[in-house]
Amino acid sequence: MVGVGFDHVTKRFGQVVALQDVHFQVEGGELFFLLGPSGCGKTTLLRILAGFYAPDSGRLFFGERDVTAVPAHRRQTGMVFQSYALWPHMTVADNVAFGLRQKKLPRSVIRERLDEALISVRMEQYAHRKPNELSGGQQQRVALARAMVIRPRCLLLDEPLSNLDAQLRNEMRLEIRRLCKEHQLTTVYVTHDQKEALSIADRIAVFSRGRVEQIGTPIEIYKMPRNRFVAQFVGESNFVEGRVLGSEDDKWAVETILGILVGTGDATIAAGDRVYLSLRPEAIRLRGESVDRNCLAGQLVGVTYFGEVAHYDFLCHGTRLKVSELNPRHLHHRSDETIYANIRPEDVLLLKT
């Protein structure tokens, strides 16, 4: 169980800066996600980790050891690709045992490790099938077993669930977490799917244009996004521009087009700053009557019912806010009548513009 360190890593492809001064540490045994939109540099970082690309500057560490110049086949990483990349002419057992045979391990050891790997991904009954005789989820398990059987120092997963349907994706997420924790694997997992990252990560690095925007646990990233990019990319949010008037207890009063709202900001905020307020739709409550703090008057101009949740469009001083209500007992209807939206100061987040 070894940690991975990126020490000021930069990588360019011609004029494109794919990674810029990436600097962080993945702890041993951690399930760590690289999350970000298409083209932000996630796969490039994973490939640098695997040894398929060399950084232009910066270094890579496995534990205390500088592995920047160590070739891919000596790094002992196990990789699972989006396409699984199983060998079509080989059986499940041969696919999984391939890496062990390359290492020229004794037959008895190969047999033992193969059985163990197949049992751990629950594929022992399929050992003699070929990949084209398996479902997408089963192929995915074989790819995982193949990567894990060599006891990698680091398991690398590149969008491993993108070919699966929604239900199987949910199941396999939990399965991947179970396997990583059971085998205490240091795992780096690339995805652009925020739900995948929030649901199983120990920590997440959110990337944008080759840079790390924020690193934190799922709840830190969701509840305390550092900037507008993170708040927008991870979950949904309403953004309202404003100017900080001053502090009240440990909260800030902000003048906005919707009126004065009281919110929460970090130590860098000062009176006079221009900020964005981030208001999560699920943190806003609709009410029939006004309350004294953070209460907005407006009209409902859109209602969509999804069963477990209702989505509303709330119009206040010409600004449309998204509001969601979980487990709605009854629906509020579109109407010209005034209705109120209320949000707690701890759910109004001040972000620097």
In this chain, which of 3, 5, 31, 42 binds ligand ATP, going by CB under 6 A?
42
Per CB under 6 A, does 18 bind ligand ATP? yes
Please, which residue, 14 or 106, has the CB nearer to ligand ATP? 14
In this chain, which of 36, 131, 263, 328 binds ligand ATP, going by CB under 6 A?
36
In this chain, which of 22, 26, 40, 279 binds ligand ATP, going by CB under 6 A?
40
Task: Count residues binding ligand ATP (CB under 6 A).
Answer: 12
In this chain, which of 41, 131, 218, 328 binds ligand ATP, going by CB under 6 A?
41
Cα 89 to Cα 78: distance, rounded to the nearest angstrom: 21
Per CB under 6 A, does 212 bind ligand ATP? no
Cα 321 to Cα 13: distance, rounded to the nearest angstrom: 41
Per CB under 6 A, does 192 bind ligand ATP? yes
Stretch that binds ligand ATP, among 13-21, 149-157, 213-221, 313-321 (CB under 6 A): 13-21
Per CB under 6 A, does 16 bind ligand ATP? yes
In this chain, which of 6, 22, 33, 44 binds ligand ATP, going by CB under 6 A?
44
Min dist CB 159 to ligand ATP, Å, is 7
HEC sequence for the chain: CCCEEEEEEEEEECCEEEEEEEEEEECCCCEEEEECCCCCCHHHHHHHHHCCCCCCEEEEEECCEECCCCCHHHCCEEEECCCCCCCCCCCHHHHHHHHHHHCCCCHHHHHHHHHHHHHHCCCHHHCCCCHHHCCHHHHHHHHHHHHHCCCCCEEEEECCCCCCCHHHHHHHHHHHHHHHHHCCCCEEEEECCHHHHHHHCCEEEEEECCEEEEEECHHHHHHCCCCHHHHHHCCCCEEEEEEEEEEECCEEEEEECCEEEEEECCCCCCCCCEEEEEECHHHCEEECCCCCCCEEEEEEEEEEECCCEEEEEEEECCEEEEEEEECCCCCCCCEEEEEEEECCHHHEEEEEC
Per CB under 6 A, does 51 bind ligand ATP? no
Per CB under 6 A, does 136 bind ligand ATP? no
Please, which residue, 14 or 307, has the CB nearer to ligand ATP? 14
Stretch that binds ligand ATP, among 36-44, 86-94, 125-133, 224-232 (CB under 6 A): 36-44
Stretch that binds ligand ATP, among 34-42, 166-174, 279-287, 304-312 (CB under 6 A): 34-42
Q: What is the token pair recorded at 290? A: 């006004």
Per CB under 6 A, does 38 bind ligand ATP? yes
Site string for ligand ATP, 281-300 (x = CB under 6 A): --------------------
Cα 249 to Cα 102: distance, rounded to the nearest angstrom: 65
In this chain, which of 28, 29, 39, 136 binds ligand ATP, going by CB under 6 A?
39
Min dist CB 82 to ligand ATP, Å, is 8
Cα torsion angle, 19, 34, 161, 117, sign: positive
Min dist CB 195 to ligand ATP, Å, is 16
Please, which residue, 40 or 156, has the CB nearer to ligand ATP? 40
For residue 192, the Cα-to-chain-centroid distance in whole angstroms is: 7
Per CB under 6 A, does 49 bind ligand ATP? no
Per CB under 6 A, does 13 bind ligand ATP? yes
Binding residues for ligand ATP, rule: CB under 6 A, are 13, 16, 18, 36, 38-44, 192
